[in-house]
Chains A and B, each alone.
Chain A
Amino acid sequence: MKMSLTVNGTRHEVDVRPTARLIDVLRDELGLTGTKEGCGEGECGACTVLVDGKAVASCLMLALQACGKEVTTVEGLAHGGELSLLQRQFIAHGAVQCGFCTPGMLMSAQALLMENPTPSADEIRTALAGNLCRCTGYSAIIAAIRAASGREADRADGSA
């Protein structure tokens, strides 16, 4: 099935099975391997991307469901070779250890900050409830998001 997908502001034409998941197309067809697959069942959040600005589990969504919508992956956070404020705060706070959960954490946090630029700690926890981390214990992640909040959320789509 031929379909066109807009990812990080760029339109792509792909030819995949209708049951191909969004994560499969992002990783295998478009080479955007920043998005990770942990559980494949909607439990871990490693595969989180934004579709029309909302956090979704790309392992539970077919690529065809994202046709005609704006998809943003972790690769879309940095622009001009410079990491976003949120990404820089993750580094500054030691919120990254093995890094497997990080793309999903960043995208859930990005969705939150776009909707609510000054979230409380509880609102951050609710937004991250679907993201599991085996390494950090979460406190550093929450601190990083707090540090990135209250300032203008970086544009997620990579466009200026």
Chain B
Amino acid sequence: MAVREARTMAVAVPTTRDDLVVALGRATTDTRIIAGGTDLVRSLRVPGDEPDLLISLGGLRGLSYVRLDGATVRVGATTTFTELQHDPVLREHGLCLALAASTIGSAQIRNVGTVGGNIANASPCADSAPALVALGADVTTVDGAGHTATRPLSEVVLGPYHTSLACDEAIVEFSFPALGPTQRTAFTKIGSRTAVTVARLTCAIVARFDAASGILEEVRVGLGAVGAVAFRVPEVEEALRGQRADAEAAALLAEGCVRAIGRSIPDRPTLPYKQHAAVGLAYDTWNALGLCPPCAPAAHDDRPEEVA
């Protein structure tokens, strides 16, 4: 106790990017970076686990933005979920991320929690992750030497609560190709209740669609909360490319998601539930794209066998 009390904890609240670099330059493996804190604050209270240096990004107003930069959408790391949910640029050019933000926690959490924190925390259930994965997002970071680096999201989030971020490296921006008028996107989530719920399964889809021919030109599918990290499903994406956007495509999507989940969590006791739920979720996500009249899975074909 005395030892813990004696340990001094430094705090840095940078207000400029230069200050942030200076603060990161002092970071060690015991340093924690706090953005909204909705995940971190609980772990900061574990006795004996206090950081040597706490860097708060809350003073960096310049890291909170969504903007269109040519054909790229740029999202500042400390943009809150409430801001993402309502941002007109994001709703037009990256709707699935705005929808994912709107499903997170409660108003109290969305007002504070940030997209950068959601990814840096690397929870397998992070709601923004499948949306960012489907959007093909890159992550830009800055480190204690002042270096800026950009890499795909899949190279940042490596496993549950495990990232490739160095201890002196902070996420500053997400970027992805802006969705245009020929693209549709949707995000759906299953949790145990409608609010303040940890995701059991999330699905984000981005689809490019030729309205004249009714053909799907490119489909990207991101699944979350069914494995160590959110992931794309290339098998489904390939199966759907060149397909007519109809009930058959919805069935291909559902079957592909079920198979991908089987590969991702083969030994989990929740596998039968998640595969069963994935069928409904895939259809919901497909229908939300609005590419064809709403369709539903064939009756009974996805029901688990009755136990006598």
Assess whether A48 is interfacial by the CB under 8 Å rule: yes
* Inter-chain contacts of B28 with A (CB < 8 A): none
Check A18 for interface membership: any CB of B closer than 8 A.
yes
CA distance A60 to B109 in the complex (A): 8
Chain A residue numbers with a CB within 8 Å of B37 are 60-62, 65
* Chain B residue nearest in CB terms to A53: B111
A129 in the interface, Cβ–Cβ < 8 Å?
yes
Chain A contact residue count (CB 8 A cutoff): 30
B49-78 residues at the A interface, CB under 8 angstroms: 50, 54, 56, 58
Query: B124 contacts the other chain (Cβ, under 8 Å)?
Result: no
Contact A48-B108, Cβ < 8 Å, known A18-B11, A19-B9, A130-B196: yes
Across-interface contacts of B9 in A (CB, < 8 A): 17-19
A61 to chain B, nearest CB (A): 6
Given known pairs A1-B11, A18-B54, A62-B41, the reply for A130 and B112 (CB within 8 Å) is no
B270 nearest CB across to chain A (Å): 21
Inter-subunit contact A45/B106 (CB<8 Å): yes
- Report B12-69 residues with CB < 8 Å from chain A CB: 13, 34, 37-38, 41-42, 44-45, 50, 54, 56, 58
Residues from 233 to 279 in B contacting A, C-beta threshold 8 Å: none
Residues of chain B within 8 A (CB-CB) of A57 are 38, 106, 108-109, 112
Are A60 and B42 also in contact (CB < 8 A) when A45-B108, A108-B107, A130-B196 are?
yes
Q: How far is the CB of B13 from chain A (nearest CB, A)?
A: 7
Please determine whether B54 and A55 come into contact, CB atoms closer than 8 angstroms: no
Q: In chain B, what residue has the closest Cβ to A44?
A: B196
A130 touches B109 (CB 8 A): yes
CB–CB B195/A60 < 8 A = no
B82 at the A/B interface (Cβ < 8 Å)? Answer: yes
CB distance from B41 to the nearest CB of A (A): 5
Contact present for A126 and B107 (CB under 8 Å): yes
* Contact bitstring A29-69, B, C-beta under 8 A = 1, else 0: 00000000000111101001001001111011110110100
Q: Inside 8 A of A127's CB, which chain B residues have their CB?
A: 107
Q: Which B residues are CB-close (under 8 A) to A21?
A: 41, 45
Within the complex, which residue of A41, A45, A62 is in contact with B34, where a contact is CB–CB below 8 Å?
Answer: A62
A41 to B42, CA, bound (A): 7
Residues of A contacting B82 in the complex (Cβ-Cβ under 8 angstroms): 54
Q: How far is the CA of A109 from the CA of B13 in the complex (A)?
A: 31
Given A60-B112, A61-B112, A130-B50 contact (CB < 8 Å): no
Are A43 and B196 interface neighbours, CB within 8 A?
A: yes
**Is A78 interfacial (CB-CB < 8 Å)?**
no
| Apart from A42-B109, A56-B108, A62-B37, 19 more pairs, CB < 8 Å | A1-B11, A17-B9, A19-B45, A19-B54, A41-B42, A42-B105, A45-B106, A54-B112, A55-B107, A60-B38, A60-B41, A67-B13, A108-B107, A111-B107, A126-B107, A126-B195, A129-B106, A129-B107, A130-B106
- 27 chain-A/chain-B pairs, Cβ below 8 angstroms: A17-B9, A18-B54, A19-B45, A21-B41, A21-B45, A42-B106, A42-B108, A43-B196, A48-B108, A51-B111, A55-B108, A56-B108, A57-B38, A60-B38, A60-B108, A60-B112, A61-B41, A64-B11, A64-B13, A65-B37, A67-B13, A108-B107, A126-B107, A129-B195, A129-B196, A130-B107, A130-B196
